[in-house]
Structure 1
Amino acid sequence: MLSLDEQVQAVYQILKDTHLESPWTKEQIQSDIISLQTDYYFVYDHGRAVGFLATQDLLGELEITNIAVLRAYQGKGYASQLIQFLEDDDLPIFLEVRESNLAAQALYRKFAFKQVGKRKDYYQNPREAALIMKREGKNDR
C-alpha cells in the first residue's frame, strides 16, 4: 500500500506521462485522494505503480473520473485490471471519454459500458466532444 505522498507522486507522474503535462497539480491530486467521495485504485508492475483509476460516489452512482496507465505499459491489460476493481460494485457507473479515443471506448464496451450521450466541446487542447458511457448496476443488467 502506498503512502499518501507516494500515491500523489504516482498519480502525478502517470498523468504527466499520458498528457503533455499533468492536468492537475500535486495539491489538487492530494485533495482528491483524501476526499471522502473518491476512491483510488492502483495497478503495479514489480512494485511500481503503473496505472490508476479514480472514482467518485455520486449518491447511488459511481463516476470514473480518471483512468490512466503509463504509456510504456499500455496495451498490456493494466486498464482492464483497473476496471475489474469495480466488477463487484452494484451501482451504475458513468464516465466521459474523448470521442477520438477509440481504444478506451473499446475497453469500456468490453466491460458492458454503452454510450448514453455526448457533450459537445467538453475537452480542451484539443477541443473535442466527450461521449458519456454507462454500465448498469448488477441488478439492472
Structure 2
Amino acid sequence: MKKAEEILTLLSDVYGVSPWNLEQIEADLKQANTEYFYLYDDQTLIGFLALQDLAGELEITQLAVKKAYQGQGLANRLMGFLADRPERLFLEVRVSNQVAKALYEKYGFQPVGQRKNYYQNPVEDAILMAREGKENV
C-alpha cells in the first residue's frame, strides 16, 4: 500500500470520513515544505504528524492516531518530535476537542484566536493555538 493510501485509511478510521481525500494527501506528501512523522505497529501505520513550513513558521496540519491505539500516549510521542524545534508552531483544533487542546497546552501551545465555522461534518469553530519559537522565548 502506498503511503498516501495508508494515511487515508488511518484518517478514515479516526474520522469516519477522512477530512482529506487521496489526491490531497498525495499532493501534500510531494510538497517540498511538508514533513511527516510516522508511528507503526509492525507494518501498520497507527499514527502520524504532518507539518507544513510556512516561511519559517510551522503549522501542524494533521495529528492522528488510529482509534484502537488512542489513549496509549502515541499522540504525545508524535508531539515529542517537535519538542526541540526552534520555529514558531501553530495549529487549529476543534473547540470541542478537549483532549487535543490539553495535549497541545502540555507542549506550550496557547490559544491565540478563533475561526468561525472552520470545520465541517459537523460544522464547528476552530481554536487557533500557537507556541512561540525557542529563539523568541
Residue deviations 1:40-74, cap 9 Å, x none? 11012234220011110000100001110000111
One-letter amino acid matched to 2:32: L
Aligned length: 137
TM-score when normalising by structure 1: 0.92
- Residue in 1 that maps onto 2:70: 74
Residue deviations 1:12-50, cap 9 Å, x none? 111000112122222221111111111111012234220
Deviation of residue 6 (structure 1)? 3.0
**Cα distance in 1 for residues equivalent to 2:58 and 2:43:** 28
Q: Which runs of no fewer than 5 residues in structure 2 stay unpaired?
A: none
- Which of 120, 128, 132 does residue 132 from structure 1 map onto? 128
Let me know the Cα RMSD of the aligned residues.
1.2
Q: 2:20 aligns to what SS in structure 1?
A: coil
Q: Which runs of no fewer than 5 residues in structure 1 stay unpaired?
A: none
- Residue in 2 that maps onto 1:23: 19
Residue deviations 1:58-117, cap 9 Å, x none? 001000011100001111111011111111210000000000000000000111110111
TM-score when normalising by structure 2: 0.94
Q: Please say if 1:50 is aligned against 2:46.
A: yes
